[in-house]
Structure 1
């Protein structure tokens, strides 16, 4: 019996088919690119944390549609490895499913002689490959491949399978009138566009047994011109239910609207819930809602309003695998919230996903908290992301920790990251650490700069220098003729600019500063000496920000370098040619940072156990600084 009074619906069991879930919390499928052992640790940690259902990331049904992190469910050799993972998750207390996937026209085909396949020969974007239209015999063969993949997954012990019919992949392409313009029985009206999925469902039931549950993840909306919209999604969902579907999961977006697949912080919490609600009103099978649901109280509200039957919380469970247990105990302040910074998804371009908020993601065993063999007196200097995490982990391990920061508020440069429009939720990271340090008994002393003499007076066993960085300045002819300031001062509100502003530097800080100023009604021009801007940003975040800057009318000049300022204007070199531009009211520098590590140098001969981390060692991304803080806390 569910005795949770604060969240009675979230922790109520749910039964569909022969499956019974202990609660309504779902970890939806998403690629991680983790190795097999790390992946097992990752999912087992979440299962132990109390999640009801773990949906494993896509398994390829066809070798022609394989991609690196997918499970090769087109071959029996996949069964033993998958079974090992499934058994471990079951032992930890969660129900397990796996997604069946074919990339369709969105598949990254490396062989130049091989075109991707799709319902119709329509490329997903102007620059992508035109796919080859599937013949009816090929469609029939793929239906059988989906079913055979389901049987392999069943042999590995999964409780059910999910057809990936969302995000513009093959099944999704059949649903969409934009990508499916066939005039045979697999296109046209709703029954035609749903037929491919209907026949997959029926074939799986034939081969795996009619009582083997089948789910489908589909879009409530594609968010592209001519794509699938909610009314059609509702009708397709009804058709799939009639074919024997047991569960449906609602998402949104395709590659042409990629940021809506994994919503950024500028999207409202629960942004796709209205789509799930629309589908739920049309069907009688359980519906999963997902999309920026990072708080169990929001999840309870969604269930209470009858908008969905289950809630997908992938990123929320990445940031805090213990979220279900904490929520069940009413420990909401203890939850380490996802801030939707999209570091996780953008990291997939280079390798395994990473998490800014949870540095132990993917390294659960390596960064597990183990009590120190000897309690030490630890001094952490600097209350930015790296210092906060080092202090938290060191305190968890039993050390006596004191943290100093020369500013009146914790957060360091992360406060600047939270300053641009729509990023205020980033401050949750600082709020969490502040609460944790207080709970763990860490002594926090603000508004006081640490000197070598103070360190000698404190006599710590170990010192962590996390003093951050300072912005780089430019030494240019005539710089005194203009009102010149650095981007950090602008973002923290110390500088009020005039109407026209030149931002020098088109990296992350420069572009975010341009957004900050443009929203305040300033006329902003950004110059960058490289050919591209935002090269230090993740792909989806860069795409969104550049689109927003374009909407605000921000001018971006690439391959442009500031050379001189005069009383009447500025001189730049643009594409190798000198140009003279009119004067701007303000010039804002965003040209990088340099370590602030004078104290670290002075302490080398004073402290035996000394760590220099984060930007104090070298400017770096927050995800790297926080992970270094965790590693240091584990090492002391």
Structure 2
């Protein structure tokens, strides 16, 4: 098969994207009152005007307790009208739009959410200073049903796709992790048991969009290839899980990610570890703790282009389903490499935060290089209003 042009149209399940570039989910912190704001709409409209094939709204929690913090958007009837304004604005710019749906699990800040967090086992979150409840069977069934409801709300709001969050040790990912999931019941122990939550969620979402969305909505998932910590999700186990998800038939594509929001976030981001800036985002004593031990939590992984490609190749070799390559996609050369390696789509986050019109720039000049410096100071900006500290974008096309 000839290598596709990354800027050519492509099918994602039932949806046709104008090109093969996707803005990866990047928490925006632009949802006061847990509802869509004009600021959030403009954030995504600018990226859509900048040329991406599809932008991803992050993070659309499936319940109040599934949010990472109390201002986060959660999918409910009151949110649909605002989400419809958002999807209309994106479509007007010629792009598609996906809703990332999920439950934060042990990552959820129960104190900020004013709602009980869930985890595979009783788990202490130092940011929220609260324990997450060990999820029982009713809790698990409830979360699966909430994902289906969230997909239906996304369909009502005009989304072209939903992305199910199965990564970064959020709830489904924490069940997959042998480091976190120390259960001995039907949801613990073997990988087959630990994968039940993720597989159940995907199939419930697929059934929901087939019935409610008329089969016109794509379903993707973000899956950890590795947690990057000893005892966590490994490449071998993740590949087995991916094969099961493929065989289940619930997904139109899989986005490959890595790292843990709980224990090793820099394994995903690479580049500079902004420990000082993270400490400045919190009040004492949390800020003191981050300054003293932040380097152990935020480990140093030098940046390079396509830094997840080596692991992702293993998945490409074993899977037939469409795959989305994430991690260090900033220029045309790397995009073309991904296409030549057999990946159907590329996903970008920080590079589009720095330059929302990067895709248009690359289309006009293939030698374009991203303005992103990989300083990662955008990471702690999520506690105020996510933005690039180098360019100030994305507030307007520059």
Which of the five TM-score ranges fits, normalised by the shorter chain?
A: 0.7 to 0.9
Shift of 1:103: 1.2
1:260 and 2:295 are equivalent in the alignment: no
2 CA distance for matches of 1:347 and 1:279?
33
2 CA distance for matches of 1:352 and 1:152?
25
2 CA distance for matches of 1:261 and 1:347?
17
**Residues 584-609 of structure 1 deviation map (CA, whole Å, 9 limit, x = unaligned):** xxxxxxxxxxxxxxxxxxxxxxxxxx
Q: With structure 1 as the length reference, what TM-score do the two structures score?
A: 0.53
Which residue does the alignment assign to 2:325? 289
1 CA distance for matches of 2:187 and 2:380?
35
Shift of 1:89: 0.3
Note closer, same or farther for the CA distance 1:236–1:124 as it changes in structure 2 (3 Å cut). Answer: farther
Q: Please say if residues 308 and 326 of structure 2, whose CA atoms lie closer than 8 Å, have aligned partners that are also in contact.
A: yes
Shift of 1:70: 2.8
Secondary structure of 1:131's aligned partner: strand
Q: Please say if residues 276 and 288 of structure 1, whose CA atoms lie closer than 8 Å, have aligned partners that are also in contact.
A: no
2 CA distance for matches of 1:233 and 1:64?
26
Which residue does the alignment assign to 1:15? 11
Note closer, same or farther for the CA distance 1:13–1:117 as it changes in structure 2 (3 Å cut). Answer: same
Q: Please say if residues 191 and 239 of structure 1, whose CA atoms lie closer than 8 Å, have aligned partners that are also in contact.
A: no
RMSD over aligned CA atoms reads: 2.5
Note closer, same or farther for the CA distance 1:63–1:16 as it changes in structure 2 (3 Å cut). Answer: same
Matches within 5 A, 1:169-180: 169-180=170-181
Q: Please say if residues 57 and 70 of structure 1, whose CA atoms lie closer than 8 Å, have aligned partners that are also in contact.
A: no
State which drifts further: 46-55 or 125-134: 125-134
Which residue does the alignment assign to 2:283? none
Which residue does the alignment assign to 1:232? 237
Q: Please say if residues 165 and 222 of structure 2, whose CA atoms lie closer than 8 Å, have aligned partners that are also in contact.
A: yes
Q: With structure 2 as the length reference, what TM-score do the two structures score?
A: 0.83
1:247 and 2:279 are equivalent in the alignment: no
Which residue does the alignment assign to 1:311? 346
1:341 and 2:347 are equivalent in the alignment: no
Q: Please say if residues 46 and 395 of structure 2, whose CA atoms lie closer than 8 Å, have aligned partners that are also in contact.
A: no
Q: Please say if residues 31 and 70 of structure 1, whose CA atoms lie closer than 8 Å, have aligned partners that are also in contact.
A: no
Which residue does the alignment assign to 2:65? 64
- Stretches of structure 2 that go unaligned for 5 or more consecutive residues are 32-36, 273-301
Match of 1:221 among 226, 235, 260: 226
2 CA distance for matches of 1:97 and 1:143?
19
1:33 and 2:26 are equivalent in the alignment: no
Q: Please say if residues 250 and 275 of structure 1, whose CA atoms lie closer than 8 Å, have aligned partners that are also in contact.
A: no
Note closer, same or farther for the CA distance 1:68–1:133 as it changes in structure 2 (3 Å cut). Answer: closer
Which residue does the alignment assign to 2:118? 117
State which drifts further: 236-245 or 9-18: 9-18
Shift of 1:69: 4.9
Structure with larger RCO (C-alpha < 8 A, sep 6+): 2
1 CA distance for matches of 2:237 and 2:71?
32
Matches within 5 A, 1:367-406: none
State which drifts further: 130-139 or 31-40: 31-40
Match of 1:24 among 20, 27, 33: 20
